[in-house]
Structure 1
Amino acid sequence: MTDIAHIVSRYGIAGYPGQLSGNTYAFPVPEGDLVSVIENLKGIHGLPLKTVAATDERETHGTFRIYYVFGIPKEGIFLVPYLNVDKYTQVFPSLTPLYHEFSAYEKEIKSFFGLLPAGHPDAKRVILHSETFPKNLYPLLKDFAWDSKTTLSEEEREWPEFQTYAGEGVYEIPVGPVHAGIIEPGHFRFSMLGEEMLRLEPRLGYVHKGTEKLFEHLPMEDKLKLSERISGDSSFHHALAWSQAVETLAGVTVSEKARILRVVYAELERLANHFNDLAFIMLDTGFSFGGSHGTRIRERILQWNEKLSGSRFLRGVVMPGGVTKDISTETIDELQNDLDVIEKDFSEVIEVAEETVSVLNRLKTTGILDRDVAEDHGALGVAARAVGLGLDARADYPYAEYQNIQFSVPTEETGDVYARYRIRVREAHQSFRILHQALTMALHAEGPLALELPSLPADSQAVGIVEGFRGDIVYFVKTDQQGKITRVKVRDTSFINWTVFPYIVSRDVIPDFPLINKSFNLSYTGNDL
């Protein structure tokens, strides 16, 4: 049981009375104290910022609110200082001058709520393109109808301006938003000197779908389906983060059997994506052998996904309260045997790649992310672990049954494409290790596959966090005074890791960009929501 009094005392926030709700301790902070409270939690105590969520609570509390969610690793509790923002002035103090990690969140809040982050050095609109959406459109306000249709006249359209470099021999290369492949749209503006990339400015938002607005209005069963479709390659992990947040709100702990099966499905999704990423990294070096065999091995996992759940992308297998699919003893034995074969196959492919000089020459010293940039921006997942930051929600905020499973969190130090490649290789081996343990545990696990959830408590919030194959995924879920879900803030890994992109190309040439891009493999739709 959480000793909240001890936690409040330890982190020096006893002067701010709050409320324990779900797995959060939320407490109001006066505007004048915000900087000192954030500096205390993040700067002095080193707590990681997991997300920032704005809410329109004018109808219930007469104000807007901004919730700053900090995790306490290993303790299963999140400290959430929140700021009441005046509904008339609609201004709040920017924390970006203190920590750059807040920048993307504050831009998002301005874009979707119209609240102004005073002191932000570049509070430009994001996601909602000025040539498509009206200037004063703020879709996450409660008085904005979810099914509204917006139009712009030609006179109202404002086309984007990009920062330009000047000088002899400097030119620009625009890439996208439509690309030569079956991938999502995004625009990249390169400033070039010969083949050397001087600067990259990405522009995203082309697949904005109004996801967070839809969460406010869809029935509960459709909210689950929506979570599965936020980023298709992470269907299971997004649905799991959503389910865990709702379960925490409801005060429900799922059965041992459901927790173990969640681990199995999660690691299968991770393996499929790591194999795919490794395949395309090798393919982008011109190493067709690695690309072909990587995708072949991925297909083996996707076929297992379909056999176990009926879906190659594991949709419909997790739900608030548990899971929908069991795995028989015979199937467990068959899967464990095949995993041994797949791991051996995978190891042989990687061994050949590691002995191929042309591959290593392309991967090493390419696309270097400096550790200080990663820390300043709050980089997550593979990108963070490739610079030595051992961040992993499975270990830091154990969920499902990970606390009872032995595994390690691999890190590298060089921060280049090769480091991100090696992280995926090593994590794949850890996934095999986890799967064998979880499948053995599943043979003797007890309890129902799923539990029925009670009504959700009023005016409460909870956090769901999981470690997807890119990095951690966070859901902040809040209810209104009737216990209905009124706000779902989704933070995909890609929302954070896209912010480091302009910093990783200045030492590289343009032919390296596809390789660098693939080594991150960020989600456009996970960012655009």
Structure 2
Amino acid sequence: MIKKIQQFIPKDAQVEFHDNNATFEVSILEIKKVARDLYANKNLSLKLITATDEREENGYFKIWYVFGVPKENLFIIPFILLKNKTEFPSISLVIYEALNYERKIKTFFGLTPIGCQDKRPIILHENWPTDVFPLRKDFDWQKRPQIATSGIYNFQKVKGEGIYEIPVGPIHAGIIEPGHFRFSVAGERIVLLEPRLGYTHKGSEKLFEVLPLDEKIKLSEKISGDSSFSHSLAFCQALEKLSDTTLPTRALYLRVIYAELERLANHFGDIGAIMMDTGFNFGGAQGSRLREMVMQINERITGSRFLRGVNTIGGVTKDIDNLEKNKLLLELKTISKDFSKVIGVALNSTSLLNRLKGTGVLSAEIAKNHGVIGVVGKAVGIINDARVDYPYAAYDKLLPDEIVTEQDGDVYARFLVRIKEAHASMKIIEDALDKLPKEDINIPNLNVVFKKNTFAMSVVEGWRGEIAYFVTTDENGSISRVVPRDPSFINWAVLRDAGFDNVIPDFPLINKSFNLSYSGNDL
């Protein structure tokens, strides 16, 4: 591993290794240069930027910059220390996708990124006092701060003859999560779209600091409810690294099966919902029907439609016996045939294709500059999939034949990516069931002891895209910080670009083709 990472590390850096992570301190003056080199010259992907409050133990704040090395399953993590300082240099001018991470550090830690172009708070709203920073260790999570009585969120403004604004949300006509969208339009054409989120903020990162371990795992399942299994998987993998826990092989295969069932159910739902939003009711009904079939399979096998309570440190809690295995294989064949028939009808509908093609186009350049991932990124040709780039569970033996991509970046491309991924998921599940080894599904009577003063990084390819968890421990070996990063936190930033120059009535369709999580963004 040392040889592999040498090309990414400055010559004079003192490197520490934590599992598959290489970390080293960088001076505040050098961080912009080092980050730009890793990102632009070494072509590493930015996974997340976060902070930890270590003033009580060490007398400083630490800011971590996590970069991934695709295909090597390695993470390069430079960090800076803020001793008696609350300012640090912004890197968002050289890595644009760093912008919202820096805004979040400012909002939740009170550490100011100097040179950041967007100084507005993120997630927390105007009723939150500007001098209270909830992710600092001295913030009492049980104490309600005094509500601020004033404050204005400065939406971006467009000036020009005939330009007017349309505010939509946060309460919507459908049964969906709350979010506000501010449209600046000329006639019906969208000139500017700006989402405002944060209405589902639950204080999850603070809760991770104080909850018992079992409750932490349950909390990870609720970061984004439709991705319960993938979030808890990413969290459990980080905990397993921190405790040097090796899993039974059967548990690794079962994790793949459950992860793909979650992907399958959500892709079926989205495919149907996209068709429903065009008025193609047949497709909408069939998508809902297929999704429900998978959800019922989930409940029958695990007792939970959303696959909650399945992941645990050291494996899974629910097995698939031979009878259930054979039944599931037969059901998958039926579902696959049904799905192919539905898609055959859909792709022969001229009215449906007219609505999907050319609508909500996101350019590859904008997507790459924002680090877009998952379905949205694959729809513009970005080859990015944690199952391949950072293999986990049993994906090193059950890899998809190829990473599904399209090129046009419109609603139709995102529609096709989901269709192809659904077919691939069914194939992966069948392959995993055929190869399922005969072993335990977890480690009985496991005594979990975490290493002290260390950290772990875990990534999982959720159905929306890559989910990342960064977890640290303190001097007592207790979990001191958990940083979940849902793909929605990244992809919300480009919804405005996909909406540009479209008509207002097409926005619900564009938004559905992204189908991002409000809860996963707001935490």
Q: Which TM-score applies when normalising by structure 2?
A: 0.98
Aligned match of 1:356: 349
Aligned match of 2:247: 254
Report matched runs for 1:124-135 at 5 Å. Answer: 124-130=120-126, 132-135=127-130
Q: Check conservation: 2:388, 2:399, Cα contact below 8 A.
A: no
Say if 2:442 is the partner of 1:459. no
Report matched runs for 1:113-512 at 5 Å. Answer: 113-130=109-126, 132-152=127-147, 156-407=149-400, 408-442=402-436, 444-450=437-443, 452-512=446-506
Partners of 1:197 and 1:145 in 2: how far apart? 43
Q: Cα deviations across residues 220-271 of structure 1 (Å, max 9, x unaligned)?
A: 0000000001100000000000000000111112110000000000000000
Deviation at 1:148, TM superposition (A): 1.5
- Partner residue of 1:20 out of 17, 20, 31: 17
Q: Check conservation: 1:458, 1:479, Cα contact below 8 A.
A: yes
Aligned match of 1:62: 59
Deviation at 1:84, TM superposition (A): 0.4
Aligned match of 1:91: 87
SS state of the match for residue 279, structure 2?
A: coil
Q: Check conservation: 1:323, 1:450, Cα contact below 8 A.
A: no
Deviation at 1:31, TM superposition (A): 1.2
Identical pairs, percent: 50
Partners of 2:50 and 2:181 in 1: how far apart? 28
Partners of 1:57 and 1:14 in 2: how far apart? 27
Partners of 1:211 and 1:483 in 2: how far apart? 21
Amino acid at match of 1:78: F
Q: Check conservation: 1:51, 1:491, Cα contact below 8 A.
A: yes
Q: Check conservation: 1:252, 1:453, Cα contact below 8 A.
A: no
Amino acid at match of 2:114: A
RMSD (CA atoms)? 1.1
Deviation at 1:9, TM superposition (A): 2.0
Q: Check conservation: 1:321, 1:453, Cα contact below 8 A.
A: no
Deviates more, 1:444-453 or 1:113-122: 444-453
Deviation at 1:330, TM superposition (A): 0.8
Partners of 1:502 and 1:221 in 2: how far apart? 39
Aligned match of 2:26: 29
Amino acid at match of 1:180: A
Q: Cα deviations across residues 308-332 of structure 1 (Å, max 9, x unaligned)?
A: 1000000001111100001110110
Amino acid at match of 2:188: E
Partners of 2:399 and 2:207 in 1: how far apart? 39
SS state of the match for residue 27, structure 1?
A: strand
Partners of 1:53 and 1:415 in 2: how far apart? 30
Deviation at 1:40, TM superposition (A): 1.9
Which stretches of structure 1, 4 residues or more, deviate above 3 A after TM superposition?
Answer: none
Deviation at 1:24, TM superposition (A): 1.4
Partners of 1:493 and 1:114 in 2: how far apart? 24
Q: Check conservation: 1:254, 1:322, Cα contact below 8 A.
A: yes
Amino acid at match of 1:484: S
Q: Cα deviations across residues 399-423 of structure 1 (Å, max 9, x unaligned)?
A: 0000001412110000000000000
SS state of the match for residue 403, structure 1?
A: coil
Partners of 1:164 and 1:260 in 2: how far apart? 51
Q: Cα deviations across residues 415-449 of structure 1 (Å, max 9, x unaligned)?
A: 0000000000000000011000001111x332443
Aligned match of 1:75: 72
Deviates more, 1:330-339 or 1:16-25: 16-25
Deviation at 1:453, TM superposition (A): 4.6
Partners of 1:215 and 1:357 in 2: how far apart? 50
Say if 2:507 is the partner of 1:513. yes
Deviation at 1:35, TM superposition (A): 1.7
SS state of the match for residue 404, structure 1?
A: coil
Partners of 2:399 and 2:104 in 1: how far apart? 38
SS state of the match for residue 383, structure 1?
A: helix
Say if 2:3 is the partner of 1:9. no
Aligned match of 1:109: 105
Q: Check conservation: 2:32, 2:90, Cα contact below 8 A.
A: no
Q: Cα deviations across residues 248-300 of structure 1 (Å, max 9, x unaligned)?
A: 11111211000000000000000000000001100000000000010001000
Deviates more, 1:144-153 or 1:287-296: 144-153
Partners of 1:9 and 1:516 in 2: how far apart? 43
Amino acid at match of 2:97: E
Q: Cα deviations across residues 36-77 of structure 1 (Å, max 9, x unaligned)?
A: 211221111101111112000111111100111111122222
Q: Check conservation: 1:174, 1:189, Cα contact below 8 A.
A: yes
Partners of 1:195 and 1:134 in 2: how far apart? 38
SS state of the match for residue 31, structure 1?
A: coil
Deviates more, 1:10-19 or 1:351-360: 10-19
Amino acid at match of 2:33: S
Partners of 2:147 and 2:124 in 1: how far apart? 13
Unaligned runs of 5+ in 1: none
Query: In structure 2, do the counterparts of structure 1 residues 51 and 453 end up closer, same or farther at CA, with 3 Å as the change threshold?
Result: farther
Query: In structure 2, do the counterparts of structure 1 residues 208 and 112 end up closer, same or farther at CA, with 3 Å as the change threshold?
Result: same
Partners of 2:397 and 2:66 in 1: how far apart? 26
Size of the alignment, in residue pairs? 521
Amino acid at match of 1:391: N
Aligned match of 1:527: 521
Deviation at 1:124, TM superposition (A): 1.3
Q: Which TM-score applies when normalising by structure 1?
A: 0.97
Amino acid at match of 1:117: P
Q: Check conservation: 2:264, 2:425, Cα contact below 8 A.
A: yes
Amino acid at match of 2:491: N
Q: Check conservation: 1:139, 1:213, Cα contact below 8 A.
A: yes
Query: In structure 2, do the counterparts of structure 1 residues 396 and 252 end up closer, same or farther at CA, with 3 Å as the change threshold?
Result: same
